[in-house]
């Protein structure tokens, strides 16, 4: 079964890290892609780079900024192939965001056509 491992970071979670620590953190994220169970994924730019589209009176309204201002933000995801939720959780537990106060949400993908 395929699972999305949705990574939510805390705002400012890396502000106090040194350049060396940031580099090591990046290496850890890339190393997860070496796991054969991880079939894809991507990091996202920070929320202030977002553009939001809403429908108002039947017309799209495009605004700068994220959907909501929160303490946590959607920072990226991995796609993983796992036999069950426990196996997906083992992969999720290795995501560095957890050590920095972040959260990983595990969601099964809908079956494809």
CA distance to 22, 34, 42, per residue, from 10 (Å): 15, 25, 18
User: What is the total residue count of the chain?
Assistant: 113
Model pTM score: 0.87
**Confidence at residue 74, expressed as pLDDT on a 0 to 100 scale:** 92
| Correct CATH for 2-108 of 3.30.365.10, 3.40.50.300, 3.30.70.1060, 3.40.190.10 | 3.30.70.1060
**Confidence at residue 113, expressed as pLDDT on a 0 to 100 scale:** 58
Rounded distance between C-alpha atoms, residue 75 and residue 29, angstroms? 12
Confidence of residue 60 (pLDDT cuts 50, 70, 90): very high
* Under 8 Å between Cβ of 93 and 18: no
- The string of pLDDT tens digits covering residues 3-48 is 999 999 998 899 999 999 999 999 999 999 999 999 999 999 988 8
């Amino acid at each position: 079964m395929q699972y999305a491992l949705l990574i939510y970071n805390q705002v400012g979670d890396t502000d106090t890290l040194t350049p060396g620590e940031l580099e090591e953190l990046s290496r850890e994220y890339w190393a997860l892609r070496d796991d054969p169970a991880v079939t894809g994924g991507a990091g996202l730019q920070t929320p202030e780079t977002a553009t939001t589209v809403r429908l108002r009176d039947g017309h799209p309204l495009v605004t700068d900024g994220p959907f909501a201002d929160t303490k946590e933000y959607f920072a990226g995801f991995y796609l993983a192939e796992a036999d069950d939720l426990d196996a997906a959780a083992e992969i999720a537990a290795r995501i560095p965001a957890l050590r920095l106060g972040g959260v990983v949400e595990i969601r099964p993908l809908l079956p494809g056509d």
